[in-house]
Structure 1
């Protein structure tokens, strides 16, 4: 009986930590509904392109950096400035826990990304965007998605 309970608990935990990798068109629809298309002058293509090069559309992506901080979620938001890990006192300008950025519904990630764009005056915060998306024709990122 006890072994069955432990296995059930492990199964629940495995389900919670399972990553969600979105399709391009699913993200286009979510981002469009969330008001990201032309938010602060950045087209929907910019947001989709950035999410691809930052996380490959993986809502639970995490990147551990040399300085001890961690980039979280679909937009790879950094723990040092934008969110708070329980054991550290980061700046937390988005006023959220970093774990909230790993949620599959993307609400907190989108709210935080809007704050970043507003507070940093653009998408230059994201190196993936600067390297692969900035100044390019981004129409292909929403092509065929009916948004």
Structure 2
């Protein structure tokens, strides 16, 4: 029984593979918003979290896409939080990317678009992103 619980805990914190992320991105409806490509989102996920959906890199950044708790999700502790995506931050820390990508979709529709993410600006913007989408 204890082994089963430990296995479940370990599995919930494992990074996803690139092709799983690509499939989720394609199914989410984010591709094409403001000219974005599937490669943009897979690249963002790689540089933001290494495809790790359970990452909480700083006290205010959550999940595979490192969604900020001041603007986008509710962590229950950030003063003045807006929770524009209407999602609990802790719900972004699992392998189900539907809620993450629904929030990403909302963020990308804002004036900053993908520029809202520093990892995307520094590593993905204007680059050939074929390596993130080929072979899946």
TM range (shorter): 0.7 to 0.9
Count residues in correspondence: 134
Q: Distance in 2 between matches of 1:120 and 1:114?
A: 12
Does 1:111 pair with 2:102? yes
Q: Output the aligned Cα RMSD.
A: 2.0
Unaligned runs of 5+ in 2: none
Which deviations, in whole Å up to 9, do the C-alpha atoms of 1:68-115 show, x marking residues without a partner?
x41000100011111111244511111111111112111110000011
- The answer to whether the 8 A contact 2:70-2:78 is kept is no
Give the CA deviation at 1:37. Answer: 2.4
With normalisation by structure 1, the TM-score equals 0.81
Q: Distance in 2 between matches of 1:123 and 1:88?
A: 23
Unaligned runs of 5+ in 1: 1-6
Q: Distance in 2 between matches of 1:13 and 1:92?
A: 32
- The answer to whether the 8 A contact 2:44-2:124 is kept is yes
Higher Rg: 1
- Matched with 1:79 is 69
Does 1:57 pair with 2:51? yes
Segments ≥4 residues shifted beyond 4 Å: none
Q: Flag the structure with higher helix content.
A: 2
With normalisation by structure 2, the TM-score equals 0.87
Helix, strand or coil for the counterpart of 1:124? helix
Q: Distance in 1 between matches of 2:6 and 2:41?
A: 31
